[in-house]
Each structure stands twice: as C-alpha cells, then as structure tokens.
Amino acid sequence: MTSRRKFIGLGIGAAVLPGLAQAAEWSSMGWTQAGEFGRLPLYKAIYEKAYVPAQGFAARMQQRGVVIHGIDADITGVWFNDLALQWRRRPVAIAGLTAPAALFCLEQLAWDHRMRVAFRATHMQHSDGTIEHRIQAPQTLAPQIRPSLDAEPGWGASMADLAMHCPLPGTSVATELAVDTRVVVDDVAVEPLVSWVIAPVNSA
C-alpha cells in the first residue's frame, strides 16, 4: 500500500496575494510575484520574547498581518489555550522563531493532526560573532535564502519573509543550505534558535 498523502496548506483556501507595494518590495529581493506562488496564510506566528532576532521575526510577521504570540520558552499556554482547540477543529499553518524545545513539542503535537514541518532553519551563534544558518526548505525558496539573510533589518525578519513564502502543495523539502553571516552581537543566545513552519498534510 502506498501513501496518497500530499503536502499542502489544507483548508486555508487560496493563497493570500500581496498588495502592489509589498509585491514591489519582494520583487526587489528576487521573490517571485504573486501568481506563480503566493504567500502561505499563517494562523499565528510564535516567537521567543527573550531574543532580538525573534522579536524582529515577530515584528515582520505583524507587519504582514499575521497574528503573533510571544512565549517565555514554554509553549504550554499557546498550545493548550489555542492550538489544541484550533487544530482539533481544523489544521492550520503556523510559523515561529523559537528555541528548539518549542519546535520539538509543537512538531510532536502537530503529527497527531497530520501536520508536518514544511520549513526548518537552525541558527547557531558562534563566539566569533558569526551566526551559522542551516536551512531545510523547499527548492523553490533557495534563490531567496542568501540575499534575504543579509537584508535589513536583520535575519529574524528575513526568516519571517521566508516562512511566509513557504510554497503551497507539491513541493517537498529538498534543499539544505548552510550560510554564515557576520553580525554585530548584542544579543547572545544561550542555545541555538530555530525558525520553522508547520503546515497540514492533505489526505486526498
């Protein structure tokens, strides 16, 4: 017996199309215009309040109209009070920039609702000031990854852009990149951070 499962954003209808100004900005960064693929509608973006890149991630998400939720390491509240109820009604895509533990928990819980991690990036800060980004993403995002990491206002916001452009159905995770960026370190993360998207699986 073979699986008939495909990877899509189940139940979220058509992709959200950008406005003209937004499309222009994305175009300047090399993002494909809406129509080829659009933005993945996200129910919520979760971010680790303690870390500056995560704050940047959240700010970008909020700017793009995504509801944000900050955590202090513990995902229990957003899980129990929100996602557990929502995913039981209807699986919806979420994104985040958090410590690895939060993604571990949400990924485990998402499997129960036939959802998968569609995008995963690990950000490891080294003592010499570099940050190593290891990104597992659909092949179609590959051209945007390096330029977006160097873009202002910072890689946290860039991860938000990448997450929002995580493609819709049919694209499997096929690319893994390692990129080092040199940043001015004024916020040292104790542990690696992760950016991620969790989205539903289609059973059709």
Partner 1 sequence: MANPPGVSQQDFSAALQAFADAVGEEWVFSSDEDVALYRDAHSPFWGEENELVASAAVAPDNVEEVQQVMRIANRYQIPMFPFSTGRNLGYGGSAPALSGSVVLDLKRMNRVVEVSERNAYALVEPGVSYFDLYRYIQDHDLKLMMDVPGPGWGSPIGNALDHGGGMTPYRDHFQAHCGMEVVLANGELLRTGMGAMPGAETWQQFKYGIGPDLDGIFSQSNYGVVTKMGFWLLPEPEVVRTVSVIAPRHDDAGPLMEILSNLSYSGVIDSYFSIRSPVLHGPRNAEFDALRARGSAATAAEWDRHAASRNLKFWQASLTFYGPEELVDARWRHVRERYSAIPDIEFDDGATYRFPMTAEEREQTAEKGALGIPSLDTFTGRSAQNQDVADGHIGFFVVVPMTGEGVLDSLKVLGHEFAQSNAGVTLGTFGSFHLRTIMLVCMLRTSRTDPEQNRLTRIAYERAVNLAAEHNWGTYRTHNGFMDFVLSKYSFNDNALSRFHATLKDAVDPNGILSAGRYGIWPKSMRGSA
Q: Which letter, b or e, does each residue of 57-96 get, where b requires 16 or more Cβ atoms within 10 Å of its Cβ?
A: bbbbbeebebebbebeeebeebbeebbeeebeeebbbbbb
What number of chain residues touch partner 1 (CB under 8 A)? Answer: 26
Question: Which 124-183 positions form the footprint of partner 1 (CB under 8 A)?
Answer: none
Return the amino acid letter for 161. Answer: D
Q: How far is the CB of 120 from partner 1 (least distance, A)?
A: 12
The count of other CB atoms within 10 Å of the CB of residue 119 is: 24
Among 5, 49, 126, 182, binds partner 1 (CB under 8 A): 5
In contact, 196 and 166? CB cutoff 8 Å: no
Taking the alpha carbons at both ends of the chain, their separation in whole angstroms is 15
Residue 100 interacting with partner 1 (CB under 8 A): yes
Among 29, 84, 174, 178, binds partner 1 (CB under 8 A): 84
Residue 97 interacting with partner 1 (CB under 8 A): no
Among 76, 90, 129, 178, binds partner 1 (CB under 8 A): 76
Site residues for partner 1 per CB under 8 A:
1-3, 5, 73-77, 79-80, 84, 99-102, 104-105, 108-109, 111-112, 190-192, 203
